[in-house]
Structure 1
Amino acid sequence: MRSTHTRLRRACVAAASAALLVVPATAGSAYGAPTPGPSVTAAPSPTPTPGGDSEFPQLTPAVAAQLDVAIRKVLGETQVPGVIVGLWAPGKGSYVRTFGVADKATGAPMETGFNFRIGSETKTFTVTALLTLVDQGKLGLDDPIGKYIEGVPNGDRITLRMLAGMRSGLFNYSDDPDFDKVFTTNPNTYMSPRQLLDYSFKHPVQFAPDAEFDYSNTNLILLGLVVEKIGGRPLHEFIRQEVLEPAGLRRTVFPVDADFPDPHPQGYTNQSASGKVVNSTDWNPSWAWSAGAMISDLMDLRSWAHTLATGTLLTPATQAERLKTTPMDIPGDGYGLGIFNVQGWIGHNGSLPGYESLTIYLPEDKATLVVLLNTDITTEGQEPSTLFGEAVTEIVTPDHVFPGHKPIAPKAK
C-alpha cells in the first residue's frame, strides 16, 4: 500500500516522516528564477580538500549560482511546484531562495514567509516534550509503555526509549488497509489517537522489542498520550508551553483541527482513490497527530534546527541519550530518539499529503539547512526533499552529503 498518507511513514528521512519572521535574504521569483542574493565578493567554486576534510565555503555569488543551478535541476526533474531553500553558516553567509509557485492555479510565486505542514518533523517536538518530563523526574526512558497506557501489545517490555527510537515492533497504523480506506475516502475525517492505535493493535507485532529498527507512526501516538497523561495537559498545550515558548518559536503551531494559518502555499499530492494529483491543502491532519500534524515556517525551523541538535532545552545527560543512534538502512547513518544523524547532519524530515520539509544541522560547521516544498509526490521512489538536500550538500559539504540516492526509511506520511 503506497497511498498518499503512507508517506508520513517515510518521513524518517527519506533520509531517515511538522510561522513567520523576516528572512535575511531575498526571495526568488516564480518558476525557478531566483533574484540575486546579498551582495558579496565572488569566489571560486568550493573544492573538497584532500583527506576528506573540506571547509564549508563562503556563500558567495559564485556558490549561490551553483546552488541555483542544482536546485533548478531537481525542481525540473521532480516537477515540484515550488520550494524554499535556506542555508546558513556562521561567518560564511546565507543563501535563502524560493523557486517555482505556491499555487498552480494562479501562478502565485513561492514566498519565504509561508507556513507549511511539516509532517514527521512533529516527532522532534513530541519527543522533546517527552524528554522534558524525563528532566523533570516525572518518568524514565526505560519505563515500559504499559505503565502509562493499557492494552499495548508487549506493553510490559516496550520502553519509552524503544518507542522514541523506532524499535518497538508495533505495526504502523497508517499501513492498515482499513485506515487507508477511511483516509482515502474522506481525508477530512477526524481520527482520534485511540482510533489510530486500534488500527495498529489488531495486527501482530512485527518483531520482539528492541530487536530491529522499523519506522512506525504508532510509536509517536503512544508517546503523545504519555506526554498528555504525565504532563497533565492536552498535548498541543504542553508542547506550546514547554517546548515552543521556551525555544522562542512564535510561528510554529500544533493544530487541533484542519486550520492552516495564512499565508501558506497550496499543497499537491497523488490521491490513491482517484489516481490523480489533487489539492490537499485543507485535509485534516488529525490522523497524524503527535507523529506529524504540526505547522511551522522557514525561520522558526532554522532556529529549531540548532535547538534540537544542541539540546538547549534539555540537560546535557538527556541530550546525550537522545543522540545515541542505532543503524538505519545505510552504514554510518542512525536514528536516535526522535532524531536522525545522516552523514553528520542531525535533524529530521517530514512529509504529509501535499507538503515536505527537511530541517538539519551540521555541528562541525554550525550550518543549518531547511527545505520546504508543496508536494509529497515522489520521483522514482525518492522523496523530493531529500533530493534537494542532496543537491545542496553535494556543493557545500561534499564530505557530508545528505543522501538522496536511495530510500533510507519509510517516509512520514
Structure 2
Amino acid sequence: METPRMSTTTDTIRAAAGYLASWVEAQAAHQRVPGVQVAIRSEGELVLDLAVGVADVTTGEPLRTDHLFRIASHSKTFTATAILQLVEQGRLRLDDPVGSYVPELADGGSPVAAVTVRELLGHQGGVIRDGDQADFWQLEYPFPDRATLLADVLAHGHVHERNEHFKYSNVGYSLLGLVIEAVTGTTFAEHLHTAVVAPLGVTHTGAELDPARAGEYAAGHTGLLLGAVDRETIEHVDTRAMAAATGFYSTAADLTVYGSAHCLGDTRLLSDDSKRIMQRLESVVSQDDGTEIGRYGVGIELKTVGKRALVGHSGGYPGHITRTYIDPKAKLVVSVLTNAVDGPADQIAVGLLALVDLALNPPKATDTTSDTATADGDAETPAAEATTADPARFTGRFAGLMGLMDLTVLGGRPVIVHPTYPDPKAAHDELEVLDDDRLLLRAEASFGPAGEVVHLTRAEDGTITSVRVGGMTSWPLADFLARRSSMTRVAAPKVSA
C-alpha cells in the first residue's frame, strides 16, 4: 500500500498529536508522575499543548497548561542569550574577565577574577559548582544574596584552572548575572524581562519567583524513594543571587516560543551568528574511561537524538524536573515539564522526538506478498497494495497479561507502539493493511513475530474488540481488567459427564 504523505512536516506532526498526547498520558501514569506539561512547536506552530495529572497531590487540583513551573537550569540559556545580545551591542566582550565587572573578585585576590565571560558560559572556568555550603537546595536556609555569594567565591570559588576541566557551575552563572547587572545598570530580572522575555510576547515566563502569581505555580513534589507510594509538596523559594543560574519560571508552551527564537533564521532575540556561537560545540564531557556523558556549547546543551542535532537544556529544581530540546534547522521544539524530583522529563522528551521521527520517516516499502500459510489456513497473504481500507480504523489501546499495546496511525500508516516503554522507536512495529480484519507485521529481522498476520475482531459498529499478535490476544483496557483475575490461574480442565 502506498504510504500517504502529508503536505508538510508540520501537517504530519499535527496529525500525530492526538497519539503523542495519549503516549504521554500512558508514560505519566506508568511512572506515577503527579503532573506533566508538554508542548511541541513545529515551524512556529504550536501543534501540541498538553497537561496531564495534578498540580498538587494534596489538593488534587488538575494540572493546566498555564500552570507555572520552575525551570531551573533553563535559566542559563536565558542568561547566555542576554550576554550574547550585549556582545552584539558592543557593551561587553566574551573574552572579558569577570573581575572587570565584579571588582570584589579582583580586590579579594581570587583567581576567579581572571575567568572570562566565555569560560563561565561554557563551564570552563573551574569555578565551584554550588558553593561550599549549598543546602539551600534542600531549603535548609535561603539561597545566597550577592554578599554571601561573593564571600563564598572568594573563600572557595577556585577549584580547577581555567579550561582544565569542564566543571558545571551554578556559581559561575550567578556571576554572569552580576555581569549583566553591572553592564546594564538594572537588576538581572528587569533586564531579562526587557531584553529576552518581552520581545517574545510571552506572559507566563519570568526570571524569578513572583509572589504575586503564587497561586499559578504547580506544586513541587518529593520523589518516590525505594518503592514509596506517597509524595510531599515542596515550597517554592526565591533563588536570589543565583537567579541567572536557576531562577526562571515558565510553561511548556512559552518555552517552545523561546526555543523557536533559537532556530536559525529567527531574529527576535539573536542573529544567526550569535546563535552559532551558542550552539557550537565547546566541550565534550567524558568520564575517565572515555565514556561520553554530555556535550555543551556556550550557554546551551548539545545532544544528538536519532539523526537530529539538538540544543536546549534541562532543569532540576526542588520538586520540578524539566527539559527542552530544540532542532534549530528543522525548527522543531519539544518541552516537557514535570512536578516531581524524580520526574522523567528527559525520557518523555526523547520519546516524543522518536515518535515524531517515526511519523516523519516511514520505512522503505517492501514486498508484502507472503506465500507462508497462516494459522487460519490462508494459502497466501494478499499484497497490501490491493486494499483501500482506512488506517484510521485500526486504532486503540489494548492490554493482555504481558502489558499494553497501542494501534495507532503515524505519518498516515498504522503502527504498533508499546506506550509504557521508554523508547517508542525501539518498541514499535510497522503494519500494513491487508483487509478490515487483518494487518501484516513488517518483515524484518526480529525477536518478535515480524512478518506474521495480526488478526482483529470487531463489534457490529466496527469497534475493535480484540487484537491477536503473534498468536496472543489483547483486549481493550477495560475489558482486559475485567478478565485479568481469571487469567492469573490455569483454568481447571473440564470433566465430561
**TM-score after normalising by structure 1:** 0.72
Correspondence for 1:98: 51
Q: Does the aligned pair in 2 maintain the 1:163–1:219 contact within 8 Å?
A: yes
Query: Bigger radius of gyration, 1 or 2?
Result: 2
Cα distance in 2, alignment partners of residues 239 and 93 from structure 1? 24
- Separation of aligned partners in 2, 1:340 and 1:285: 22
Q: Distance in 1 between matches of 2:359 and 2:293?
A: 13
Match of 1:318 among 252, 256, 274: 274
1:232–1:91 distance in 2 versus 1, CA, 3 Å: closer
For the pair 1:347 / 2:308, whether they are aligned, the reply is no
Equivalence map 1:326-345=2 (5 Å): 326=282, 327-329=284-286, 334-343=295-304, 344-345=309-310
Q: Secondary structure at the match of 1:129?
A: helix
| SS of aligned partner of 1:389 | helix
Q: Secondary structure of the equivalent of 2:273?
A: helix
Matching residue of 1:410: none
Please state which structure has a larger fraction of its residues in strand: 2
Identity %: 27
Relative to structure 1, is the Cα distance of residues 110 and 256 closer, same or farther in structure 2, using a 3 angstrom cutoff? closer
Q: Distance in 2 between matches of 1:59 and 1:315?
A: 28
* 2:148 is the alignment partner of 1:192: no
CA 1:212–1:260 in structure 2 vs 1: closer, same or farther (change >3 Å)? Answer: farther
| Cα 1:63–1:133 shift into 2, 3 Å | closer
Q: How does 1:178-327 map to 2 (within 5 A)?
A: 178-180=133-135, 184=138, 186-187=140-141, 189=142, 191-203=144-156, 205-255=158-208, 260-269=213-222, 277-286=231-240, 288-310=242-264, 312=267, 313-326=269-282, 327=284
Mapped partners of 1:246, 1:355: distance in 2: 26
AA of the residue aligned to 1:179: A
Are 2:386 and 1:386 equivalent residues in the alignment? Answer: no
- Aligned pair partner of 1:359 in 313, 316, 324: 324
CA shift in 2, pair 1:112/1:92, >3 Å: closer
2: CA distance, partners of 1:185 / 1:351: 14
Counterpart code for 1:81: P
Matched, 1:368 2:324: no
- C-alpha separation between the residues in 1 aligned to 2:146 and 2:159? 21
- The match for 1:17 is none
Q: Is the 8 Å Cα contact of residues 263 and 329 (structure 2) preserved in structure 1?
A: no
Q: Pick closer, same or farther for the CA change 1:166–1:260 going to 2, 3 Å.
A: farther
Structure 1 alignment gaps of length 5 or more: 1-42, 47-54, 379-383, 406-413
C-alpha displacement at 1:241, in angstroms?
1.4
- Provide the alpha-carbon RMSD of the alignment: 3.3
Q: Which has the higher contact order (CA 8 A, sep 6+)?
A: 1
User: Mind listing any 5+ residue stretches in structure 2 that lack a counterpart?
Assistant: 361-421, 424-497
Contact 1:358 1:389 in 2 (8 A): yes
Q: What residue is the counterpart of 2:409 in the other structure? A: none
CA separation of 1:333 and 1:105: change in aligned 2, threshold 3 A: closer
Q: 1:325 and 1:264 mapped to 2: Cα distance?
A: 35
2:123 aligned to which of 157, 166, 170: 166
Distance between the aligned counterparts of 1:270 and 1:162, measured in 2? 34
Q: Distance in 2 between matches of 1:271 and 1:84?
A: 19
Q: Given the alignment of the two structures, is residue 84 of structure 1 paired with residue 49 of structure 2, yes or no?
A: no
Cα 1:212/1:105, change in 2 over 3 Å = same
- Conservation of the 8 A alpha-carbon contact between 2:314 and 2:324: yes
CA distance in 1, matches of 2:5, 2:152: 52
TM-score (norm 2): 0.61
Question: Contact 2:75/2:244 (CA < 8 Å) preserved in 1?
Answer: yes
Q: Deviations over 1:148-171 (max 9, x none)?
A: 223263235411000001111111
Q: Do structure 1's residue 155 and structure 2's residue 120 form an aligned pair?
A: no
Counting matched residue pairs gives 340
Q: Secondary structure at the match of 1:250?
A: coil
SS at match of 1:299: helix
C-alpha separation in 2, matches of 1:156 and 1:260: 37
Equivalent AA in structure 1 for residue 134 of structure 2:
F
Shift of 1:364: 3.4
